[in-house]
Amino acid sequence: MLERELKVSNRLGLHARAAAKLVQVLSAFKAQVTLLGRGREVNAKSIMGVLLLAAAPGSTLVMRADGEDEAEALAAAVALFERRFDEDD
C-alpha cells in the first residue's frame, strides 16, 4: 500500500468537475484508491464519495492506493492535483 498527502490547490476546491476528473483518471487502474479528509475515508473512484469530502481550496487530503498498479494510480492522481485539475485559474 502506498500513501501520499495531497493539497487541494485549485481555486474552487474538489468540486463536481474536479471530482469527476479524479474519478475518471483513477477508473483506469485496478488498484483500490481511497481519500481521507475531515475525518472520513472514501472510495476515490466514487464521485459521490469524493464530493462527500467537501475539500475546500487549501485543504490537505491523504490518498492511499493498494493493488498491482498502485504506484501508477497514485502518480496519475498526484499529477492531476499538481496540475490543479487542469483548471485555468
Which regions of the chain are under pLDDT 70? 89
Tell me what pLDDT residue 87 has. Answer: 87
Tell me the catalytic residues. Answer: 15
DSSP strand pairing (32-37 vs 60-66): antiparallel
Count of Cβ atoms closer than 10 Å to residue 81 Cβ: 19
How confident is the model over 26-40, as pLDDT tens digits? 999 999 999 999 999
**What are the structural domains of the chain?**
2-86 (3.30.1340.10)
Q: In a 3-state reduction of DSSP, which class is residue 38?
A: coil
- DSSP string over 44-87: TT-HHHHHHT---TT-EEEEEEESTTHHHHHHHHHHHHHTGGG-
Q: What is the model's pTM? A: 0.94
Written as nine digits, the cell of 88 is 485555468
- Return d(Cα 32, Cα 59) in angstroms, integer: 22
* CA 30 vs CA 33, 40, 73, 80: distances in Å: 9, 22, 8, 18
